[in-house]
Structure 1
Amino acid sequence: MSDWIILSTALAGFDHAATKHKVLATRDYLARPEMFRGARPNIINLSRSYAYQSRGYYASLLAAARGQRVIPSVETIIDLSARKLYENAIPELEDALNKGLRGAEGEPLPSRLRVFFGTCIDPRLERFGRLLFDWFRAPVLELTLKQGDWVSISKVALLPFSKLDEKGRETLFQAMARYTARQWKDAKSRAPARYSFATLVDANEALPPSSIDSLKHWARIAARMGVSVEPITRKDLPRLANFDALFIRETTSISNHTYRFARRAQQEGMPVIDDPVSMIRCTNKVYLDELMASNGIPVPDTVMLIGPEDFQRAADQLGFPMVLKVPDSSFSRGVKKVASMAELKALASAWLHDSEVLIAQKFMPTSFDWRIGVLGGKPLFAVQYLMAKKHWQIVQHDTGGKPLEGGFKSFSLAQVPPLVLDTGLRAACSIGDGLYGVDLKETNDGVFVIEVNDNPNLEHGVEDAAEKDEVWTRLTNWFIERIAT
């Protein structure tokens, strides 16, 4: 069995005698990725907060990048961030809760019920606790209940270790000891299955990954293959289950409705691009940097910034100019070049108010970036995106008006340098089996992965200019093959 590591925000206040497992500061875990390289410890994340962009959030995110199992996973953290993301679990949970109470004598339930590693103090709720843990693997969950003839669940929330009193911490350590004595089992996959294609779009988005005209082109090709394609909007979540597959063609974010649609599609057993796991992984540059490094895939020299104490280290290691990035930025937004320590301090200090972790990377100027499209583990298209005029990025946002984009050159897959194609393929396959766009820089020092996009641009006349309708045919077949299995 693998070792267990407990993560705590503050070691000074942690009762080390309460557990036999190694206790590590969350900051040390984040800042020292080499610490467990080659090992596969099981991580229990007891950080002070699981809020989005907090250190606790990044601990769970990067554990996955490092090939380590973690409780709670970042998927669980996100699922429990809003009721609309977990409401489909409520009917089954309420049924199990009320069945446990039916005909059994005992005290009325508290309005806030706590479950520790799937166990409840109340013996009537033994089966319910196991079911809850099967849905949401977490050290401590707190349920807000409404009492009556039928006990209903109004909220399920992660409860950080810092919110527990002395008795609660004692209960947690006892439950953790029982849990870690057993072999880890992954949560059961909840995936039924069914068939017709929905495409999530926002007609008002300034830079969508596919235009409406491009999606109409795909619909014509899909129709010849016996598939209908229907555009849907964010208001159509209640009828998503009427379709057999979902293709998300809005810019994705785990903090908006696109993640909610992806998660619901997955729960309905529908093939989906982008799937929730790919979305979580690709929309965060900290995760991508560690994942690429752990798979031996070249990336620009990178320094993680957790606080002002890291600024000088970044300057010494990367030099100026360097590129500063907000982890979950997209379309070149939240990506800035800084030319001096003064600029670094000013920008990083401002951005650290919204994200507890930033990344700084070596500046690698090129006249274009390669984009290798990968679908189902195989190359799909190849394009060179040219830098915007008199700018160092593909898209220049600071124009005072409409964003300015550079041009493009399309290539057949046979024309792409083998090292570029191979590196792009390896990067995409480290994420998953869906549709990805890998951005790479080809330099005198080699080929480097800059980013892996979970919802890459797919424009008729651009990404399909070389491979033609084969791009759209393969996309359609990707969904069909997964519906049929």
Structure 2
Amino acid sequence: MAKLIIVVDKLQDWAPFYQYDGVMSLPDYLKWRPKQAQRVRVINLCRQAHYLGTGYYCSLLAEANNHHVMPSLRAFNKFNRHEISELIEELPGQLRNQLAKALTESTEEQLTFNIYFGETELKALRKFASYLFEALPVPVLRVELQKKVQWQIKSIKIGAVHKLTETEQSFFAEVLERYSHKIWRLEPKNLKFKYDLAVLTNPTEKFPPCTPKSLELFAKAAKRAAMDIEHITAKDMQRLAEFDGLFIRETTAVNHHTFHMAVKAEREGLAVIDDPNSILRCGNKVYLQTLFQQHNVPSPDGLMLFKHDHDNLEKAADAFGLPLVLKIPDGSFSRGVVKVSTLTEFKAQLAALFEQSAIILAQRYTFTDFDWRIGVLNGQPLFACKYFMARNHWQIYKHGKTKTQSGGFSTCAIADVPKHVLAAALAACKPIGDSLYGVDLKQAGEQVFVIEVNDNPNIDDGVEDLYLGNKLYDMLVEDFIRRIELTR
């Protein structure tokens, strides 16, 4: 379990807040030694933020001790190297417009306010505060705005906790509680958590990779193994260093916060599922097609079509005939995947897909009643399901204007999966990595084709866990612990 340390110049600076044994002066922090292999998270609230001041030295020596500290030395250097002026000048036009709109009724010429871990008391400026915190991850930012022709940033400084008013202290405490709940969380008397795991979810996602019940079952398995679980969202990116591991349970994409969080977590030394390389490799069907060809993984015959080529229709039709399947490289849940049966249909669909991607993958169409989904974890099969096609449709998902339909499923034991299906699934994962994958395959008699490898496979209660039950979640937790111990 990570230890949270709060460093202040004077202990009296922390007097208005909850008394916590992790609050230390800088000299005491430098003498303190963590338990063996324990991760340490430091929030630096020292008064002297200038170069070679106590705040600067706190972050400098924390990084030397391999502790994860906020502000980082890089954040301090942004202030000392005048990068702030560049940030002010490069403020996106959208934010400038939001700023003008938020303050349109203000009669003042200047406005000064604080940002605490990306939050502010001024509701109209919350997006603006979040943007500044992403650029300058500092516990307290003191921002001064000035109105000339339009509102602009006059100055940004590192704020000091000991200068906060009583009202500001209350809001700071509320935000810190949300940002780092460790200060207020009381551990059960008879249980000491050894590991902290962040589970990234999106409560508003339409097709999440886990049901609420499956997340609950995973949390219970983690608790049995002395692992503490906390659900986080995209806005918690700056908190990642508090944890030992990150489990991404939100649909991933490369040009997306899920990928950025995976990268940051890996840099912070966390065990990550799914890791950035897996997201990169699995997130592009063109890449997978090339990878499968290089490693002799059985897959449907495919051809890359380029936007500016004039013979795409003839090339694909001559190679595979009709019907065939067209795919954008980064589609998910059957989106961006179409079947074309005529040249007219082919031409229209290709033009539409080229609006989304410069390369389209064309594949030979093979009809089957179901697709195999083999779950693979650390190079070993985890679960096996048959996903049947949606009624009167050629795919598992049938997306309508108002609703999405899906076919049925059948979960079975790994021992009941044909050996050549398992072998193809494991062969497909081997060049990608050792993370958690869901391999989609089609079986036509003795022939097997790997359609794709998903880096963020569904694990829904009553579906993927139907055969193994709680054991599936225990296996996931055990593998996370193995990964965490390896990082240490």
TM-score with structure 1 setting the length: 0.60
Rg larger in structure: 2
Structural mapping, 1:385-400, within 5 Å: 385-397=387-399, 399-400=400-401
- TM-superposed CA distance for 1:400, in Å, is 2.2
Structure 1 residue 202 corresponds to structure 2 residue 202: yes
Structural mapping, 1:8-407, within 5 Å: 92=74, 195-307=195-307, 308-397=310-399, 399-407=400-408
Q: Structure 1 residues 288, 355: CA separation in 2 closer, same or farther (over 3 Å shift)?
A: same
Deviation track 1:363-410 (CA, whole Å, cap 9, x = no partner) reads 11100000000001111000000101111000111x222210111000
SS in 1 for 2:227: coil
| Amino acid of the structure 1 residue aligned with 2:294 | S
- TM-superposed CA distance for 1:433, in Å, is 0.7
Distance 2:76 2:348 in 1: 50
SS in 1 for 2:247: strand
The answer to whether the Cα contact below 8 Å between 2:279 and 2:455 also exists between their aligned partners in 1 is yes
- TM-superposed CA distance for 1:234, in Å, is 1.3
Could you tell me which residue of structure 1 aligns to residue 459 of structure 2? 458
RMSD: 2.4
Distance 1:431 1:343 in 2: 34
Q: Structure 1 residues 440, 89: CA separation in 2 closer, same or farther (over 3 Å shift)?
A: farther
Distance 1:456 1:390 in 2: 25
Distance 1:378 1:358 in 2: 32
How many residue pairs align between the two structures? 307
Distance 2:311 2:72 in 1: 44
| Amino acid of the structure 1 residue aligned with 2:342 | S
Distance 1:352 1:207 in 2: 25
Distance 1:366 1:443 in 2: 7
Distance 1:283 1:373 in 2: 17
Distance 1:296 1:393 in 2: 26
- TM-superposed CA distance for 1:93, in Å, is 10
Distance 1:416 1:423 in 2: 12
User: Structure 2: which 5+ runs fail to align?
Assistant: 1-69, 82-88, 90-134, 137-193
The answer to whether the Cα contact below 8 Å between 2:195 and 2:226 also exists between their aligned partners in 1 is no
Structure 1 residue 444 corresponds to structure 2 residue 445: yes
The answer to whether the Cα contact below 8 Å between 1:321 and 1:340 also exists between their aligned partners in 2 is yes
Q: Structure 1 residues 406, 233: CA separation in 2 closer, same or farther (over 3 Å shift)?
A: same
The answer to whether the Cα contact below 8 Å between 1:282 and 1:454 also exists between their aligned partners in 2 is yes
- TM-superposed CA distance for 1:350, in Å, is 2.2
Deviation track 1:83-112 (CA, whole Å, cap 9, x = no partner) reads xxxxx999559969x99xxxxxxxxxxx9x
SS in 2 for 1:196: strand
| Amino acid of the structure 2 residue aligned with 1:459 | D
Distance 1:444 1:405 in 2: 24
| Amino acid of the structure 1 residue aligned with 2:420 | L
The answer to whether the Cα contact below 8 Å between 2:328 and 2:356 also exists between their aligned partners in 1 is no
Distance 2:288 2:200 in 1: 25
Could you tell me which residue of structure 2 aligns to residue 40 of structure 1? none
SS in 1 for 2:371: strand
Q: Structure 1 residues 234, 339: CA separation in 2 closer, same or farther (over 3 Å shift)?
A: same
- TM-superposed CA distance for 1:309, in Å, is 2.2
SS in 2 for 1:373: strand
Deviation track 1:5-53 (CA, whole Å, cap 9, x = no partner) reads xxxxxxxxxxxxxxxxxxxxxxxxxxxxxxxxxxxxxxxxxxxxxxxxx
Q: Structure 1 residues 372, 335: CA separation in 2 closer, same or farther (over 3 Å shift)?
A: same
SS in 2 for 1:259: helix
Distance 2:322 2:227 in 1: 52
| Amino acid of the structure 2 residue aligned with 1:332 | S
SS in 2 for 1:336: strand
Distance 1:296 1:431 in 2: 14
Deviation track 1:399-441 (CA, whole Å, cap 9, x = no partner) reads 2222101110001011110000111111112210100000000
Q: Structure 1 residues 89, 340: CA separation in 2 closer, same or farther (over 3 Å shift)?
A: farther
Deviation track 1:311-341 (CA, whole Å, cap 9, x = no partner) reads 2110001111100000000000000001111
Q: Structure 1 residues 390, 418: CA separation in 2 closer, same or farther (over 3 Å shift)?
A: same
User: Structure 1: which 5+ runs fail to align?
Assistant: 1-87, 100-110, 112-152, 155-193
Distance 1:467 1:422 in 2: 21
The answer to whether the Cα contact below 8 Å between 1:338 and 1:344 also exists between their aligned partners in 2 is yes
Distance 1:93 1:234 in 2: 21
SS in 2 for 1:228: strand
The answer to whether the Cα contact below 8 Å between 2:387 and 2:408 also exists between their aligned partners in 1 is yes
Q: Structure 1 residues 199, 420: CA separation in 2 closer, same or farther (over 3 Å shift)?
A: same
Distance 2:75 2:237 in 1: 22
| Amino acid of the structure 2 residue aligned with 1:216 | E
TM-score with structure 2 setting the length: 0.60
Distance 2:445 2:216 in 1: 41
Deviation track 1:180-239 (CA, whole Å, cap 9, x = no partner) reads xxxxxxxxxxxxxx9401111111211110012210111011111111111111111121
- TM-superposed CA distance for 1:479, in Å, is 1.1
Could you tell me which residue of structure 1 aligns to residue 471 of structure 2? 470
| Amino acid of the structure 2 residue aligned with 1:252 | T
- TM-superposed CA distance for 1:310, in Å, is 2.2
The answer to whether the Cα contact below 8 Å between 1:203 and 1:212 also exists between their aligned partners in 2 is no
| Amino acid of the structure 2 residue aligned with 1:412 | A
- TM-superposed CA distance for 1:450, in Å, is 0.3
SS in 1 for 2:262: helix
Distance 1:477 1:206 in 2: 29
SS in 1 for 2:386: strand
SS in 2 for 1:316: helix
SS in 2 for 1:371: strand
SS in 2 for 1:315: helix
Q: Structure 1 residues 247, 344: CA separation in 2 closer, same or farther (over 3 Å shift)?
A: same
SS in 1 for 2:231: strand
